[in-house]
Structures are given as structure tokens and as C-alpha cells.
């Protein structure tokens, strides 16, 4: 699997990464699922943008966990973007099916690698594993699923068997690190799956509707 280095874990950085990485696909009508503060809307002034979310500044307010279907017809959007959203939802599989239903052209999805952030706290026997920990009070957002990069890739491949979609490309993203450090890590973990599950923080995929 191809590996790219980028800082795209925060929402503004992630939106910029989407524009830089998938610019040619961001045309016509675009649906931003889990848009938050709608950073893509600002970056794509020439696109017919619709953002949905339960909070932030969406164009349409939708609680993805309560909505049986997205409030749009089949094949309503040329592009559907859903980045670092599905892992927050109990009904992850149902919402993915809705992404496919409302898409006409392409779907851009990212899924986080839970193992990457958890490995150090678990190894040290202390600390918090970010969205998977137990905070003292109710969190504003948390992950409902804990999976590795390999599991995320397997999930997408299985969806290709279930729905009329084709995977155009899948790649992993890791934080920029010095070349020597990356080389030492690869020497220690020569099996690609082990390296990616340990150090790549996000899986990105471009899918097209058949």
C-alpha cells in the first residue's frame, strides 16, 4: 500500500489535504458528511456545496445516528466526502450504505487507525488513548470503533463486494518524520502490515460508483 506523509488529523488540515489530494474529483454537486465547521466550503467556492452534521455550521442539520436515511435522493451528488466521521457512529455500516446511495460519481472516505495512537500508552502502562479513553465527564465526541489500518482496508474491500462501487485507490498517511527515523522503523518492522498498523494514522480511499 502506498504511504504518504502529511499532517491531516485536524479538521482544517484535513480539508486542505482533501482539496490538494483530490482536487480533480471535487466538481459539480458535493456532499460533505460530518462537515463540522465546513472548512471545505470555504476552500471550494466554485463547487455546489452541501454540508451536513449534527453540530458546527452545516447547511443541513442531520444526526447521522438517528437518521434512517440521508435527506437526499439517490445519486444526488457528483462527489460525497466523509472524512474521519464513520468511526464516531454506532451505525457505521448503515451510514456507509447511505454514502453509496446518494453518490453519483465518487466517494472520498478516510478512517483513522486506532492502533497508532494507542500503542504508546498501552506499552507504557499509563496515559490516555485519545477518543477511546474514559474521560471524567461526557465527551463532546468519541470513537465508537477501535480498529487497525488493516481492518479499515479490509472493511472497504468488503464494501466493494456489497455495493456498486469500485476502489480507485487506497493509501495510508503517516506524520512527517525524519528519513533516518522512518528507515529505522522499517528495519524494525519490515512487514508492511505491521509497520502501517503501528505508524500510519489514517487510511484514505477514493471510490467510484458503477
SS3 sequence of 127-138? CCCHHHCCCCCC
With cut-offs at 50, 70 and 90, classify the pLDDT of residue 10: confident
Which pLDDT score is estimated for 152? 98
Q: Which residue is associated with the grid cell 471545505?
A: 40
- Whether pLDDT at 140 is above 90: no
Mention every residue, 6+ apart, whose C-beta is less than 8 A from residue 32: 38, 40, 41, 49, 50, 51, 52, 81
With cut-offs at 50, 70 and 90, classify the pLDDT of residue 161: very high
Question: What CATH class does 2-209 carry?
Answer: alpha beta
Our CA angle for 37, 42, 43, nearest 5°, is 115
End-to-end CA distance of the chain: 23
Which pLDDT score is estimated for 128? 86
**CA–CA distances in Å: residue 153 to residues 47, 76, 89:** 29, 26, 18
Q: For 167-191, what is each residue's pLDDT tens digit?
A: 999 999 999 999 999 999 999 999 9
The overall average pLDDT reported for the chain is: 95
User: What cell numbers appear for 177 in the block?
Assistant: 518524520
User: What cell numbers appear for 132 in the block?
Assistant: 477511546
- Whether pLDDT at 60 is above 90: yes
Give burial (CB, 10 Å; 0-12/13-18/19+) of 27.
middle
Q: To the nearest whole percent, how much of the chain has pLDDT over 70?
A: 100
CA–CA separation, 172 and 149 (whole Å):
8
- Whether pLDDT at 195 is above 80: yes
Phi, psi of 59 (to 5 degrees): -75, -35
Q: For 14-29, what is each residue's pLDDT tens digit?
A: 999 999 999 999 999 9
Mention every residue, 6+ apart, whose C-beta is less than 8 A from residue 178: none
Which pLDDT score is estimated for 159? 98
Amino acid at each position: 500500500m502506498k504511504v504518504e506523509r502529511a499532517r491531516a488529523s485536524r479538521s482544517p488540515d484535513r480539508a486542505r489535504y482533501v482539496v490538494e489530494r483530490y482536487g480533480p474529483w471535487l466538481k459539480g454537486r458535493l456532499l460533505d458528511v460530518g462537515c463540522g465547521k465546513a472548512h471545505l466550503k470555504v476552500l471550494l467556492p466554485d463547487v455546489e456545496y452541501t454540508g451536513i452534521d449534527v453540530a458546527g455550521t452545516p447547511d443541513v442539520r442531520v444526526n447521522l445516528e438517528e437518521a434512517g436515511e440521508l435527506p437526499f435522493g439517490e445519486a444526488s451528488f457528483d462527489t460525497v466526502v466523509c472524512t474521519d466521521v464513520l468511526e464516531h457512529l454506532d451505525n457505521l455500516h448503515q451510514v456507509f450504505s447511505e454514502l453509496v446511495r446518494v453518490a453519483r460519481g465518487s466517494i472520498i472516505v478516510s478512517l483513522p487507525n486506532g492502533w497508532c495512537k494507542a500503542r504508546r500508552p498501552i506499552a507504557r502502562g499509563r496515559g490516555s488513548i485519545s477518543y477511546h479513553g474514559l474521560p471524567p465527564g461526557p465527551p463532546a465526541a468519541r470513537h465508537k470503533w477501535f480498529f487497525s489500518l488493516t481492518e479499515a482496508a479490509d472493511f472497504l474491500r468488503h464494501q466493494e463486494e456489497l455495493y456498486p462501487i469500485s476502489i480507485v485507490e487506497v493509501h495510508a498517511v503517516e506524520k512527517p518524520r525524519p528519513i533516518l527515523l522512518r528507515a529505522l522503523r522499517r528495519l524494525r518492522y519490515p512487514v508492511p502490515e505491521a509497520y502501517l498498523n503501528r505508524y500510519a494514522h489514517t487510511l484514505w480511499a477514493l471510490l467510484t460508483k458503477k
